[in-house]
Chains A and B, each alone.
Chain A
């Protein structure tokens, strides 16, 4: 299992876990389609994280990105 801050940019990753106690963040990630089992592509880390999930593209800050773990 890898933190999003460690993975390679541009490769398809499968979400393994969302590690956050904050229910609103978890809900928002779920609404964006970021749930365990879904795949995403990390596009960049700076100035904000940008991920592509299915047909959706989303910007996330460091703190939220840190709650996403992929395998």
Chain B
């Protein structure tokens, strides 16, 4: 090393003693497999590097010796050792930068800088956030993805593919139940694959496209800093904004991303809120499509879900001990995203999502087929019917709640089917949409929840969510009826 950093005297002394000590113990040195120079090891020990200390803990005697040396250095310095080391390095780096870097006057008023200021200033930033959500999420994903695209692909399936499939199976398969497995009302192709490709995929694709765009532009960290205070009141921090926004795309993916949150408490609350009150793109896309003609119904649904999200978040912040995680985030410069990168990212996420759901949708079709064949399905549906009726739904919506157990979006897609046949009033649509939004997460998300939070915690969450969803549905229905509101 040509020009080593010189640390304050007590630290240099501590480094020297640690170096001597490391050399004196030679082969017994528990840290020797790191293949670092004694000076580097000494510095890492002084900075209390977690990995090195973890290794050191395996040998009580060596750990004690290091602790003694460290205490001596700390007492001499009267200052945190790690801070002193960082300061020396900073100073060294600043000197180096001063010698080698020529700075031109930074453009204080570049477009990038102005856009940054507008996006984080509270007066302009919150309206910008609203505009981005309105156009990016509502207009692009909701109206274009869930409306336009779904209509077209769905129409193509209903008009072109399903009749052909039904015709073919009717000709080559001699047995009615076998025909039903592939085609007709609940067939693998006519229901499972149709739901996956025609109803869910366009919504998810447009959402991931929008998310990748926001991600690459550098806007997401700004969104986090704008929303940190609000999130603190529900026991989270600005850091949780990204998983929550991702949850509006796919809750399963978002539950995995909660791993990046700092405290166990934050991860717990985020997972809980994701599974209860954050509908995934496929779900809210379909619901948006259902309620699009009834703005009042849409407002009731949206308002209620947001209110439940905030209120349950607030309660869980009170209920779970501890404080919100600290919020600090580097804010990268705003950049014009590269189209190629965005398309690649979207493509990878879509592929992951599609292969994740397709087998589940096919299985759901098979299970429904089996259930129908054995009569078990009818039995379960009859069990659900009283609940459906209690929340003001016609009995033939009971299967939707059963589908909803397989996947929330699957249930929503089923609701879409019934609505196409013109079977529901505005009030019923709102109640069904609310219950399905709050209802149990899909099977994939449940698996990830168990993986991230353990079986016990997940079971408690589920035991809360299911009755809560129906209770809220019951209350909404009651409330609308008592007030005599027709949406």
> Which residues of A are at the interface with B, using a C-beta cutoff of 8 A?
18, 22-30, 32-33, 35-38, 44, 46-48, 50, 56-61, 63-64
- The 8 closest A-B CB pairs, nearest first, are A59-B225, A61-B327, A30-B86, A48-B225, A57-B331, A35-B87, A59-B329, A35-B90
Bound-state CA distance A18–B330 (Å) is 18
- Given known pairs A47-B228, A48-B225, A48-B229, the reply for A64 and B83 (CB within 8 Å) is no
Assuming A30-B82, A37-B87, A61-B238, is B327 touching A48 (CB within 8 A)? yes
Check A18–B225 contact: CB distance below 8 A. no
Which B residues are CB-close (under 8 A) to A37?
87, 90-91
Minimum CB–CB distance for A32 against chain B, Å = 7
Cβ distance A57 to chain B, nearest Cβ, rounded Å:
4
Asked if A26 and B82 make an inter-chain contact with CB atoms under 8 angstroms apart, the answer reads yes
Cβ–Cβ contact A58 & B83, under 8 A = no
Known A47-B226, A48-B226, A61-B326; 12 more pairs at CB < 8 Å: A26-B80, A28-B326, A30-B83, A37-B91, A44-B120, A47-B229, A57-B330, A57-B331, A58-B328, A59-B327, A61-B327, A64-B326
Determine the chain A residues whose CB is within 8 A of the CB of B87 once the complex forms. 35-37
Can you give 23 A-B contacts (C-beta < 8 A)? A18-B83, A27-B82, A28-B326, A32-B328, A33-B90, A35-B86, A46-B122, A47-B125, A47-B228, A48-B225, A48-B327, A50-B225, A57-B116, A57-B331, A58-B328, A58-B330, A59-B331, A61-B229, A61-B232, A61-B237, A61-B327, A63-B326, A64-B328
- Chain B nearest CB, measured from A55 CB (Å): 9
The interface residues of chain B, by DSSP majority, are classed as helix
Q: How far is the CB of B74 from chain A (nearest CB, A)?
A: 13
Q: When the two chains form the complex, which single residue of B83, B122, B221, B333 contacts A59, counting CB atoms closer than 8 Å?
A: B221
Nearest-CB distance from B89 to chain A (Å)?
9
Residue among A24, A56, A57 having the largest count of chain B Cβ atoms under 10 Å: A57
Residue-wise interface mask of B (175-192) relative to A, using a CB-CB cutoff of 8 A (1 in contact, 0 not): 000000000000000000
Cα A6 to Cα B91 in complex, Å, equals 26
Query: Do B120 and A50 touch across chains, with their CB atoms under 8 A apart?
Result: yes
Inter-subunit contact B83/A35 (CB<8 Å):
yes
